[in-house]
Amino acid sequence: MSEKQTGYSPECGIPMESPTYGSNADVKEEPSNQNFLDKLEQPVHIQKVVQEAILLAGGAAAILLQVAEPGVGKGVDEHSNFAYRPMDRLRTTMTYVYCMAFGSRHEKEAVIETVHRAHAVVKGPDYSANDPNLQLWVAATLYAVGIELYQQMFGQMTKDDAEVIYREYSVLAVSLRVKPGMWPVSRRAFWEYWDHQVETMHITENAQRVAKDLLWNKELPLHLRALLPLVRLTTAEILPKRIRDAYGLKSTKIRRGAYRVILGFTKATYPCLPKIIRTYPMRYYLKDMRRRLENIA
- Model pTM score: 0.87
* 205 within 8 A of 148, measured Cβ to Cβ: no
133 Cβ neighbours under 8 A, 6+ residues apart: 71, 182
Tens-place pLDDT, residues 251-268: 999 999 999 999 999 999
* Single-letter amino acid, residue 227: L
Determine the pLDDT at residue 89: 75
**Higher pLDDT residue, 297 or 95?**
95
Under 8 Å between Cβ of 197 and 69: yes
Whole-number pLDDT of residue 150? 97
Over residues 280-287, the mean pLDDT reads 96
State yes or no: pLDDT of 187 exceeds 50: yes
- When the pLDDT of each residue in the chain is averaged and rounded to a whole number, the result is 86
pLDDT in tens, 122-177: 999 889 988 999 999 999 999 999 999 999 999 999 999 999 999 999 999 988 88
pLDDT confidence of 8, banded at 50, 70, 90? very low
What are the helix (H) ranges across the chain?
A: 2-8, 33-39, 44-50, 59-68, 70-79, 88-102, 105-120, 132-154, 159-169, 171-174, 187-200, 205-215, 222-225, 228-238, 241-247, 253-269, 275-278, 280-296
- Fill in the DSSP letter of residue 14: P
The reported pLDDT for the residue numbered 224 is 86
Q: What is the mean pLDDT of residues 12-31?
A: 38
What contacts 287, CB < 8 A, 6 or more positions away? Answer: none
pLDDT exceeds 70 at position 7: no
Percentage with pLDDT > 90 across the chain: 64
- CB atoms under 10 Å from CB of 148, counted, come to 18
Q: What is the pLDDT of residues 126-136, one digit of tens each?
A: 899 889 999 99
Question: How would residue 118 be classed by pLDDT, with cut points 50, 70 and 90?
Answer: confident
Contact 249, 232 (CB under 8 A): yes
Strand partners, 127: 124
**Mean pLDDT throughout 76-90?**
76
Report pLDDT for 297: 62
Cα gap 79→203, rounded to integer Å? 18
